[in-house]
Amino acid sequence: MNPTVQELVAALTLEEKAGLCSGADFWHTKAVARLGIPAIKVSDGPHGLRTQREGSTDPNDSIEAVCFPAGCAAAASFDPALTRRMGAALGREARANGVQILLGPAVNIKRSPLCGRNFEYYSEDPYLAGELAAGFINGVQSEGVGTSIKHFAANDQETRRLSVNSRVDERTLQEIYLPAFETAVKKARPWTVMCSYNRLNGAYASENKPLLTDILRGAWGFDGFVMSDWGAVNDRVKGIAAGLELEMPGSQGVNDRRLIDAVRSGALDEAVLDRAVTRILNIVLLAADLAQRPAAFDRAAHHRLAAELAAQSGVLLRNLGALPLHRGQKVVYIGAYADRPRYQGGGSSHVNTTAVSALDAALLHDRMVQYVEGFPADRDQRDETEFLRAVTAAEAADVAVIFAGLPDSFESEGGDRRHMRLPDCQNNLIARVAAVQKNTVVVLHTGAPVECPWADDVSSVLCMYLAGEGVGEAEDALLWGDADPCGRLPETWPLRLEDTPCYLDFPGDGVTADYREGVYVGYRWYDARRMPVRWPFGHGLSYTGYVYRNAVLSADTLAEQGLVTVQVTVKNSGAMQGAEVVQLYVADATGTPVAGGRVPQVLRGFQKIALQPGEEQVVTFTLTPRDLSHYDAALHDWYAAPGRYEIRIGHSSRDIRVTLPLHYAGTRLPPLQVDETTPLGILLADPRTAPVVQHALRAETAAMTNGGGDGLMPPEAMAQMFDALTLRNMINFGGPQAEEKLTKLLETLQDAIK
Ligand code: BGC
């Protein structure tokens, strides 16, 4: 019989235990041969395996592997079943290559489109990111390989990422930056979580006890281990006590020694070290056991899957009719990305592979297309001869398709963008082509939104994001109508950088990043300000059409512990097979004040359904009170006020097709604190205190209004004046015994809110 983890921990020396809490090298944990404890191997990354070649001494010398769509593109599929399939494929590749933990998914929230690593992340919306991450993790782990969901937490910029202090209030953290992790932990039980480099509210994530222990384990029930991002450890002893189990890649023994010394001096309870070792060994033994299973994968099948996922992720942003292309049309492809597409980003997620280009795919399918480079793929360089060739060819063609995008140097791990523009040469050529060719199509290869000053002048825009090695095949299918575009935007595309929620605070002053926009991230911000955007969250066109009807709720009222179901019938009303993403948003129409602001609507459900022409399907969503809630920092809990909510169902956040009213019959009232400075407006709006105050008011009104009731002020102004008065003011005007009256009134009010 093999020893249990408990027995192993008891048999380990202090030195061995400290050693197990850090990596042996860049990618391995340590083995303890005398006790039969194996080492396990971890490798990047979120959309392809980047694992060091056996025998190589260069950590960046990685084997060839399949590059699937990066997070930005995979998220546009709006399909957790798809991220699950992608995860399972990655799990198979990992296992076949001796990797036990895959370092992904990456779920940080897209606070600003400028974040250099947005291409790896999923969304500006935590619900979408969480569901996609859960699918991915379940997929990888179904193959007996672990995951490391990253980077925990509030790591939303690359500028000074190793030290920046993300200052985020409690509600914003709970409502925006944590739920993707929470959903993934609860729905998919990742084996590990990777803490981020940055500080969060003053404490490094790697030694942040509220984050790593109270929230992750206490509130969400995480039962794996936490590893550091590579080199993220600040104070190792503090870190282990806070809940950071494994330091990666290790510090050549320096931090192990610190742990040993701390135990010996009594600064660190040995039980804390034992607990960390136990958590690590639970996973190491499980991983080593599962690694025994036979492993193989079919490279060609995985490439086909990568192309299929890319096709499912392409977003048709605009189409006045130039797409789909038809055989017999004279088509010119312009731009170097037609030949050398950008399909992945730079940094730790970079996969060693080659991609199929749109030109390769056109050749394969016998498409008659002419090609003019027009502009280069790797820099902003304008060559007038090339420009003229492109414009002339475009003018002579029936359709011009421009393959545009961001060069690697514009967008990568390690740095943020400084602006949101494409290279000038590309904007320039697009404008010139559009001036001579009404059927101009732009295909975008970017990891994040770019400003599109030419958007109204071209016929069609297809966004591929960074779609992985199958990008060309996917483009070919989407452009030529062999597949219907069914991707949707997982983030808002703003008109200009200056419109973005954290424009004034991103990336901060180099020391602190103040998340002053609070919960107003992404569409929550643009909707609250009723701001025009280039393309809204959830947007994506199709070559077919969808009709929504018969939307119903299972009940008009939702009880405090209850649930309601929402059903809607969706029909493919066009002539082509396609897939619709049915989106459900909840709007709080109670009118109850919300500390930190009420966001106009929040995504609480989505489902992607494939429909043949004429086919219809009933889509069902389930809602619970949590879906109506915001996070209340005074309660330290989720809270929904009783009253009226709107359930909005539609094609995008700005294309709502049906709105259903729902009454929430919650009995819990929001927390209320009363003292002598509380304004009457608050007390009169609350059913607990209103009767008490109304009673007191009747006695005091004449004195307080200073005769205003006799026409001195318009009634609206009077009402506002009342609203602003505090209890203290009310009594101040009240003549003798004021102090006494105030004390009594406060007592009655305290009783009323108990
Ligand atoms: C990145 C992680 C990555 C790790 C290992 C770090 O620089 O932030 O996402 O998993 O390196 O390559």
Domain 299-528, what fold?
Rossmann fold (3.40.50)
**Spatial distance between the Cα atoms of 531 and 523, rounded to a whole number of angstroms:** 10
pLDDT for the residue numbered 705:
54
Q: If you average pLDDT over residues 243-255, what whole number do you get?
A: 96
Surface-to-core class of residue 312, CB atoms within 10 Å of its CB (0-12 exposed, 13-18 middle, 19+ buried): buried
Q: If you average pLDDT over residues 650-668, what whole number do you get?
A: 97
Catalytic residue among 125, 156, 229, 476: 229
DSSP 227-280: EE-TT--S-HHHHHHHT--BBSS--TTHHHHHHHHHHHHTSS-HHHHHHHHHHH
Say how many Å lie between the CA of residue 353 and the centre of ligand 1. 19
**Spatial distance between the Cα atoms of 444 and 448, rounded to a whole number of angstroms:** 10
Long-range contacts from 431-435, C-beta under 8 angstroms, 24+ separation: 431/457, 432/387, 432/390, 432/391, 433/334, 433/390, 433/391, 433/394, 433/400, 433/402, 434/458
pLDDT for the residue numbered 292:
94
Say how many Å lie between the CA of residue 274 and the centre of ligand 1. 27
Asked if the model's pLDDT at residue 34 lies above 70, the reply is: yes
Tell which residue, 522, 549, 332, 367, has the closest CA to residue 443. 332
| CATH architecture label of 546-664 | Sandwich (2.60)
Asked if the domains 5-290 and 546-664 are classified in one and the same CATH topology, the answer is: no
**Spatial distance between the Cα atoms of 725 and 680, rounded to a whole number of angstroms:** 6
Surface-to-core class of residue 740, CB atoms within 10 Å of its CB (0-12 exposed, 13-18 middle, 19+ buried): exposed
Asked if the model's pLDDT at residue 709 lies above 70, the reply is: no
- Pocket of ligand 1 contains residue 204 by CB under 6 Å: no
Could you report the per-residue pLDDT of 577-605, keeping only the tens digit for each? 999 999 999 999 999 889 999 999 999 99
**CATH of the domain spanning 5-290:** 3.20.20.300
How much of the chain, in percent, has pLDDT values that exceed 90?
Answer: 89
Say how many Å lie between the CA of residue 348 and the centre of ligand 1. 5
Tell which residue, 530, 536, 726, has the closest CA to residue 650. 536
Q: If you average pLDDT over residues 33-53, what whole number do you get?
A: 96
Identify which has the larger pLDDT, 61 or 177.
177
Residue with tokens 């197990």: 20
Q: If you average pLDDT over residues 391-417, what whole number do you get?
A: 97
pLDDT-derived band of residue 706, with 50, 70 and 90 as boundaries? low
DSSP 591-632: ----TT---S-EEEEEEEEEE-TT-EEEEEEEE-HHHH-EEE
Q: How far is CA 217 from CA 137, 380, 510, in A?
A: 18, 48, 31
Residue closest by Cα to atom 3 of ligand 1: 348
**Spatial distance between the Cα atoms of 604 and 607, rounded to a whole number of angstroms:** 11
Backbone angles phi, psi at 151, to 5 degrees: -110, 120
**Spatial distance between the Cα atoms of 603 and 117, rounded to a whole number of angstroms:** 24
Q: Which ligand 1 atom is at minimum distance from the Cα of 120?
A: 9
- Pocket of ligand 1 contains residue 484 by CB under 6 Å: no
Looking at every residue in the chain, the average pLDDT score rounds to 95
- Pocket of ligand 1 contains residue 588 by CB under 6 Å: no
pLDDT for the residue numbered 711:
65
pLDDT-derived band of residue 693, with 50, 70 and 90 as boundaries? confident
pLDDT for the residue numbered 700:
66
- Pocket of ligand 1 contains residue 451 by CB under 6 Å: no
Alpha helices in 437-591 (DSSP H): 471-479, 523-528
DSSP 213: I
pLDDT for the residue numbered 478:
98
Please choose from 49, 50, 61, 103 the residue to mutate so as to test ligand 1's pocket, defined by most ligand atoms within 8 A of CB: 103
Residue with tokens 């597949």: 483
pLDDT-derived band of residue 722, with 50, 70 and 90 as boundaries? confident
Active site annotation includes 360: no
Token pair for 429: 């050529």
Could you report the per-residue pLDDT of 198-233, keeping only the tens digit for each? 999 999 999 999 999 999 999 999 999 999 999 999
Count H helices, E strands: the chain?
23, 25
Residue 726 identity: T
Q: If you average pLDDT over residues 655-668, what whole number do you get?
A: 97
Could you report the per-residue pLDDT of 317-357, keeping only the tens digit for each? 999 999 999 999 999 999 999 999 999 999 999 999 999 99
Beta bridge partners of 664: 558, 643
Could you report the per-residue pLDDT of 60-85, keeping only the tens digit for each? 889 999 999 999 999 999 999 999 99
Asked if the model's pLDDT at residue 483 lies above 70, the reply is: yes
Q: Which ligand 1 atom is at minimum distance from the Cα of 348?
A: 12
Asked if the model's pLDDT at residue 697 lies above 90, the reply is: no
pLDDT for the residue numbered 734:
63
Q: Any idea where the domains of the chain sit in the sequence?
A: 5-290, 299-528, 546-664, 680-752
Asked if the model's pLDDT at residue 139 lies above 60, the reply is: yes
Token pair for 249: 């890649």
How much of the chain, in percent, has pLDDT values that exceed 70?
Answer: 98
- HEC letters along 289-312: HHCCCCCCCCHHHHHHHHHHHHHH
Say how many Å lie between the CA of residue 148 and the centre of ligand 1. 11
